[in-house]
Amino acid sequence: MAFSIFGRFPDAREFLNRVAQYASLAPVPSNLHIHTPYSFSAFTNISEAVNLAREQGVRVLGINDFNTTQGYSDFTEECQKTGVFPIYCMETITLSIEDRELKKRWNDPVNPGRLYFSGKGLRHPVQSSQHARDTLIRIARALEERTRKMTDKMNRHLRDTLPNIRLDYDHIRDTITKGTVRERHVAKALQQAIDREFPDTARKADALKLLYSAESRVDVSDEAALQNELRSNLLKAGKPAFVEERREAYLSFDGARSLILDMGGIPCYPMLIAGAKDEFTEGERDPERLGDELLQRGVYCAEFISTRNDIDLLKGYVAAFKKRGIILNVGTEHNTPRMEPMAPRCYGGVELDDALKEAFWKGACVVAAHQYLTAVGRPGYVEHAGQRTGEEIKQLETIGEAVIAYYLSIFDF
């Protein structure tokens, strides 16, 4: 049964009257964007993610799976066992037909019109309207239909290239997922099947040449690298097992924002900035303009996957957003097979400087305050229609710091 992390807190009136007494933390490392096996993840389970966070000094952690809150209860339990403050988040994908036709990219460097969208500080225990629940069901069904078709197309390609290997969708769902099969799971299942069939490295390389009609370019003994290569060579547009995503798998920007608000969260834009190809997208090229557009669209929160970006570039975007009163979060994503450190760093392993640590800590505090205040029936950072409430950001930072400090005093050991 789901339970609130605030169940052992004092009465809300007492707590808020004494908030300054509880707020006594220096900036605490936070990571508000990780994926778990409830979507796709480098982690075997949620326990591994939370324990690694604690071991590496991260005390505020945000679960951020795609289109699902199913992992929240496990996440809550593991955070309380480990002394880590849980932040409840979710990610979805939007599609603008207009931007696609204009070839305008946002935080997806490959697909114009497609935009990743997050929500921070959602309600837990989960509360949402029937419309929100139906929306998530519709997305899940569209994604399931696509991955089933991809699995079928992959099997047809395997029949012509490696006939001793066959993938079973239901087996993939039941053994390497928590119920949602994604494109990356298909690649992982194929990598595992190839490893079983061809334990010898040379024979595996020959098999991949048959599968790709080209030589493999990775260390075929590296599971993560091989999964990524299989996905790129077989599951992407123009490749043998690619299936176009149905329109039902996406929301509009306004639809995604409304979904997050319905679930009690703060709409949040996840930044790409330079991205994997070291280039700026049309939507993100100008931080000042992007900040203004986010505000016009009713988005008062942005997050960074800092390992993608040079520290000086990151500081420029942070400064532009802070000037506009946009709160800022940071995360590591962990949405690939490769295990990365839990404490966010910049590109090349460069440590965040004190100003960045402070900015991201304060943003985490605002989200923690929003979670607490909405749980006790008070106004948080945004109200149900998505506009900023009358709560001052500095006061929310203080409340959030107190909430985190009090939680850690209960569950620390």
The pLDDT of residue 278: 62
CATH of the domain at 386: 3.20.20.140
Residues 6+ apart with CB under 8 A from 249: 93, 139, 142, 143, 146
The pLDDT of residue 256: 98
**Residue percentage of the chain with pLDDT more than 70:** 98
103-121 tens-digit pLDDT: 999 999 989 999 999 999 9
Q: Please report whether residue 241 resides in a domain.
A: no
The beta strand positions in 132-281, using DSSP E, are 266-271
Average pLDDT, the chain: 94
Confidence of residue 178 (pLDDT cuts 50, 70, 90): confident
Q: Please report whether residue 358 resides in a domain.
A: yes
Q: End-to-end distance of the chain based on CA atoms, in angstroms?
A: 25
CB 76 within 8 A of CB 124: yes
Q: Starting at the earlier edge strand, list the strands of the sheet with 30-34.
A: 30-34, 60-63, 85-95, 114-120, 266-271, 301-305, 327-331
Give the bridge partners for 301, in sequence order.
327
303-352 tens-digit pLDDT: 999 999 999 999 999 999 999 999 999 999 998 888 999 999 999 999 99
Residue 111, burial from CB neighbour count under 10 angstroms (0-12, 13-18, 19+): middle
Place of tokens 């260390």: 219
Q: Please report whether residue 250 resides in a domain.
A: no
Task: Retrieve residue 180's tokens.
Answer: 């949602």
Last residue of a domain, one of 235, 257, 277: 235
pTM reported for the whole predicted model: 0.94
CB 361 within 8 A of CB 398: no
224-261 tens-digit pLDDT: 999 999 999 999 989 999 999 888 889 999 999 999 99
Q: What is the DSSP letter of 128?
A: -
Residue span of the structural domain in which 187 resides:
136-235
Domain count, the chain: 2
Same domain for 17 and 76, yes or no, is: yes
Same domain for 173 and 112, yes or no, is: no
Same domain for 105 and 226, yes or no, is: no
How many C-beta atoms surround the C-beta of residue 121 within 10 A?
33
Q: Please report whether residue 17 resides in a domain.
A: yes
Q: Please report whether residue 5 resides in a domain.
A: no
Q: Please report whether residue 259 resides in a domain.
A: no
